[in-house]
Amino acid sequence: MKVITIGDLHGKTHWKNISYDEYDRVIFIGDYLDGDGSTDELENLQQIISFKKSYPEKVILLLGNHEIQYYWQPENKLKKHNRHLSKSFNSILKENENIFQVSFQLNDYLWTHAGITNRWLDFVENTVPGFKNSFASNPEETINALFHSDKCDLLFSIGKAKGGDSTGGPFRADISELRTGIPLNIIQLTGHYRIKGIEKVEINSNEIIFTDCLNSTIEWAVLDPFSRELTILR
């Protein structure tokens, strides 16, 4: 099985240059919006959504914090917020909200935008008893179910490193929070953290793969989640 992860695009159109025929899954890690203004971000987002609708099982669209601010949590705007296109972004995200998700899992690999930390699992457990056990059994389903519940604000939590007062969730975790501990028995793939190239690191005896490199170099993580072979497409 071959799975390609598309890192944070922020308006970039490099994803169009990939031949997707050889891949069984195409996973966009989120943050489609808020680039440097050099491309038509609205059109780019519409094309990504059309790609998903053409291949609904093959293409996975995860949400990033830059999408959350335009529809799901508009009161918490980021420093990079496109006020000129905010209504258009809100409209297209609202119209297509059911095709986006927070997490995706294959075998023991879990994709989210900013990653899951042990501290955040404890934070949610305080409000949703049993959450940690449910996560241990089925991470993807547990995270996505929380998104569609009346406790979805827990997903948007922000830690002190990012100016918040709790702990960073899967949209706004900070690298320092990841280093305090991540769940065992799953290997995570994230965007969110800018790096120079695809990078696999070990944190408390587990692996995490960072994919947000498009500001520096055009690289894509290609993974077989069953053989655990990771290659880099350039």
CATH assignment of the domain containing 200:
3.60.21.10
**Alpha helical stretches, state H, 98-180:** 118-125, 131-137, 139-147, 175-179
Quick one: pLDDT at residue 161?
Answer: 86
Quick one: pLDDT at residue 42?
Answer: 96
Q: What is the DSSP string of 5-32?
A: EE---TT--GGGGS--TT-SEEEE-S--
Q: Please give the tally of structural domains in the chain.
A: 1
Quick one: pLDDT at residue 24?
Answer: 98
Quick one: pLDDT at residue 149?
Answer: 97
Quick one: pLDDT at residue 165?
Answer: 87
Quick one: pLDDT at residue 164?
Answer: 86
120 vs 174: CA distance, rounded Å: 11
Quick one: pLDDT at residue 205?
Answer: 85
Task: Tell me how far the alpha carbon of residue 107 is from its chain's centroid.
Answer: 18
What tokens were used for 230? 């990771």
31 pLDDT higher than 90: yes
Average the pLDDT over 46-74 and give the result: 97
15 vs 234: CA distance, rounded Å: 12
Average the pLDDT over 113-136 and give the result: 97
178 vs 152: CA distance, rounded Å: 21
38 pLDDT higher than 90: no
Q: Which residues contact 155 (CB under 8 A, 6 or more apart)?
A: 102, 143, 146, 147, 169, 170, 171
Quick one: pLDDT at residue 163?
Answer: 86
Backbone angles phi, psi at 166, to 5 degrees: -130, -115
- How does pLDDT run across 193-222, given as a tens digit for each residue? 999 999 999 998 889 999 999 999 999 999
pTM of the model: 0.97
Range of the domain at 127: 3-233
Quick one: pLDDT at residue 54?
Answer: 98
**Distances 116 to 18, 52, 141, 157, 190 between C-alpha atoms, Å:** 29, 25, 14, 12, 9
85 pLDDT higher than 90: yes
2 pLDDT higher than 90: yes
| Closest residue by Cα to residue 7 from 163, 113, 124, 86 | 113
The answer to whether 183 and 121 have CB atoms below 8 angstroms apart is yes
Average the pLDDT over 42-69 and give the result: 98
